[in-house]
Amino acid sequence: MDRLSNTVRPYAWGSTTAIPALLGIAPTGEPQAEMWMGAHPGAPSRITRTTASGETELALTEAIEADPEGELGTATVARFGPRLPFLLKLLAAGAPLSLQVHPNLDQAREGYADEEARGVPVDAPHRTYKDANHKPELICALTPFDGLCGFRRPTEAADAMEALGVDSLKPYVDLLRAHPEEAALREVLTAILTADPAETADTVAEAAAAAERLGGAHAPYARIAHNYPGDPGVLAAMLLNHVQLQPGEALFLGAGVPHAYLDGLGVEIMANSDNVLRCGLTPKHIDVPELLRIVRFEATEPGVLRPEAAPSGEERYETPVDEFALSRYTLASGAAPTGLTAPTPQILLCTAGSVTVGELALGPGESAYVPAGETVEAAGAGTLFRATVAA
């Protein structure tokens, strides 16, 4: 078992206070958006191992590469290869993230192979597929958490747009009311993303001013427009469900579901991939033809997940993926230790109180990596999240 030293990513949309407050440290004044825990090559966690020559600090990626089966277990390597298949994060949104969607596994493999065959550099700004993996993800709220998730009914989106009283939105309103559901959503999103940028910027400015006057259910769009003035993603956001999570509630984002996080602190887990197709709220490249191939154009109710009780005090967030499983333990002072031994690799994250994992004492925001099969127990008074590979 190893204590993890993790990298905090300073993305512009990050909160300046949420992660420092959890860690009990002073804010720097700079945004602190995500703390990564795992073996992603972009920012792997670091551990300290004792070797014949003494204590050595190394990246978790290096430890796994040196002994994949010893670290991950035979079954995990057989299923996913010699890599940790998930990435765990603390995510702190102080401003809206980009509106985005993720491919399914077949789409990711096809897209990656196509761009490789065409010789598109993997670091090119117009590159769409960074790897051949899908990227399902789950966000669990630690504070009240706002987001957008999945398309709402076209008639509901039409009502929201019409209420703004902006003439240039009328063509979108008419399309949303005139077509079958899938066709309406497809045509309107296509029209928004391919419209003249200058005309769109004017429409967004008028819509934002109207949303600010109306407030209520329109308030999130005014805030989004404040952060992304003139961006067509402001209009695309009006097609989506607005979701407000309470602490302990979660959202699962599967392939093809457009989404964006707006505000709040949460624990996020995802398949270890960088494949993101953006729909707006970003200066980055938007591959409209590929995006339209990937998006699932269907209205859905955002499925808010609550943990399901399991033996030994475990509360599981059930998801339909193999790469990861997330659960939560609420530990009480004086209670018997909770056994966490598993045949799969684990990352354990304390989010409240004080928890002892093996010989490691973890406070809020601190984490540990447990190799597959290593005996481990947890005790103390606090909240512990457990990330591992689905059984």
Q: How far is CA 167 from CA 116, 164, 170, 175, 268, in A?
A: 44, 9, 6, 14, 40
Q: Residue 331 has which token pair?
A: 């530990």
First to last CA, the chain: 21
278 as an active site residue: the answer is yes
Rounded to whole angstroms, what are the CA distances from 18 to 120, 256, 319? 38, 30, 27
240-245 and 145-151 strand pairing: antiparallel
Q: Which residue among 46, 152, 223, 278 is the active-site one?
A: 278
Picking from 348, 188, 355, 366, the residue whose alpha carbon sits closest to that of residue 280 is: 188
DSSP string, 195-220: S-HHHHHHHHHHHHHHHHHH-GGGHH
Phi-psi bin for 215: left (phi > 0), alpha (psi -120 to 50), beta?
left
Rounded Cα–Cα distance for residues 72 and 84 (Å)? 7
Residue 172 · residue 188 · CB < 8 Å:
yes
| Local structure of residue 11 (DSSP, 8 states) | -
Sequence length of the chain is 391
**d(Cα 269, Cα 257) in Å, to the nearest integer?**
16
Q: What is the CA radius of gyration of the chain?
A: 22
DSSP 82: S
Which residues is 361 bridged to in the sheet? 356
Could you give the residue ranges of the DSSP H alpha helices within 121-215? 154-162, 170-178, 181-194, 197-214
DSSP structure string for 305-358: E-PEE-GGGEEEE--S-SS-EEEEEEE-TTSPPEE---SS-EEEEEEEEEEEET
Catalytic residue numbers, as ranges: 278
